[in-house]
Amino acid sequence: MSMIEQKVPTLGESITEVTIGQWHKKDGDYVEADELICELESDKASFEVVAEASGILHIVAQEGETVPIGGVICKIDTQAAGSSDKPAGDAKQESAAKESAADAPKPTGQVVEMKVQPLGESINEVVLGSWLKEDGAFVQTDEIIAEIESDKATFELPAEATGILRHVAKAGDTLKVGDLICKIEVMEGAPQSEEKTSAPAQETAGQGNDYAKGHPSPAAKKILDEKGIPYDQVKGTGPGGRITKEDALKAEKKTESKPTAANKAQEEAPAKPAAGSRNERRQRMSSLRKTIARRLVAVKNETAMLTTFNEVNMQPIMDLRKQYKDKFKEKYGVGLGFMSFFTKACCIALQEWPAVNARIDGDEIVYHDYCDISIAVSTDRGLVVPVIRNAEQMTFDEIEKEIIRLATKAREGKLSIEEMQGGTFTITNGGVFGSMLSTPIINAPQSAILGMHNIVERPIAVNGEVKIAPVMYVALSYDHRIIDGRESVSFLYRVKELLEDPARMLIGV
């Protein structure tokens, strides 16, 4: 008996151990070289393990076990590769493969290196979220092969050539602009058509080779885990019933149907923890969430951030909206919200106090004569900040339409990098979640951010009298390295003036 030991490979300098996620083959099964046999999970990503040789599989580490790097996970009896234990269907597959060898793509000798391209002035590094094509897979030009994540958005990586894909970076790796992601060995021609491969595939389907059924691809697994959707509730349309990225995205958008009977509702309802239960759940942070966390800590450590506060009597704006909201929507086809008032007021104040609209670049201060306003949008994947370009030139209806367009694309995960970069000032509205007061963190490399909050009726002094009015606290966090107290306080007070007397924004006083 000739036995090969398969061990946990080195997956990165920071990964010292992995967990056996799932075995796709049973103990004693016959496996082919390079056939997927199991998945390994680390704190960064999931990795697929393929058989190093053909033979009988003997499992050593069971599902859920933690194995150190270099630890044995299984053994393969290679003597069985040429014995009668080999399934008869494999011989048919080999015969079919020989017949189609003449139609196989031919190598050209050219190798295309794919590197991280510049994604914007404020994006210096990205995280390789997941591979959508396995190492050694045949890919076509412009076919999506991987997902790349920054602290602002997720981007799809298309193949730059047709050929065999060779992974260089691993899922979860942090890469800088210019770093090598993968290589493509350029090929002429295309692999054999599905018609030629359908027959052997159908023959082997009844032989227990259905390990992929109900199992998500790495990209689909990431999406389903973030949404908390069980794998068994998603129907896979990929090869062998494998759950694809498209399947996961569709499952994400499904809405639960209302039960028609009370007993059905009880059956479908998740079991509630018993009273006094002390259960705990652990969920791996997404690459986007980890990048956001790292960026926010860097901002706190690298800027002299302070926050100044004021309060705004929202009654004038509320009266104006009540008076004109129907006519506004009838004419422009969009509602008149608070964000257009705040965006317009900030643009006027930014032009009067340009330091708040500036940024630091090395030893220089870069002043912007335009106002690209970043609007914070909360999504299921995290906080994103699409940009309203040249907001100082836009009307109220144009601002409202642009906010709706960008917010919709953000929640659908369809924002482009151009829509995410280049903002000069940020507005965030924690009031939609009920926040009364907060100190927002600066969106680097910008130098200031305005925080809106909940509107609550409070007693205030108006012309020597105490009146009840709808009041909002506003907060301006700013980088004291570039913005002094005079600029920050004056800017925020100017915003307050414009909001409490909206007519000022129309006549420019």
Nearest of 273, 263, 260, 219 to residue 243 by alpha carbon: 219
Assess contact for 244 and 237: CB atoms under 8 A: yes
Q: List CB contacts of 5: < 8 A, sequence separation 6 or more.
A: 72, 74, 75
CA distance 235 to 241: 7
CA distance 429 to 295: 20
Nearest of 299, 359, 356 to residue 488 by alpha carbon: 356
Query: Active-site residue among 27, 142, 361, 480?
Result: 480
Distance of CA 389 to CAs 6, 357, 487, Å?
A: 55, 14, 24
How many Cβ atoms sit within 10 Å of the Cβ of residue 108?
13
Assess contact for 355 and 459: CB atoms under 8 A: no
Catalytic site includes residue 484: yes
Farthest-apart Cα atoms in the chain, separation: 100
Element of type H or E holding 181: strand 180-188
Nearest of 177, 482, 476 to residue 302 by alpha carbon: 482
CA distance 404 to 106: 50
Matching residue, tokens 């946990």? 8
CA distance 9 to 50: 11
CA distance 479 to 343: 20
Judged by DSSP in three states, 68 sits in: strand
Single-letter amino acid, residue 464: G
Assess contact for 212 and 241: CB atoms under 8 A: yes
Q: Is the dihedral of CA 50, 54, 57, 58 positive or negative?
A: negative
CA distance 337 to 378: 17
DSSP 241: G
Query: Active-site residue among 319, 326, 361, 484?
Result: 484
Which string of DSSP letters, residue by residue, matches 422-491?
--SEEEEEGGGGT-S---PPP-TT-SEEEEE--EEEEEEEETTEEEEEEEEEEEEEEETTT--HHHHHHH
CA distance 125 to 115: 12
Distance of CA 74 to CAs 45, 66, 70, 321, Å?
A: 21, 14, 12, 69
* Catalytically active residues, by annotation: 480, 484
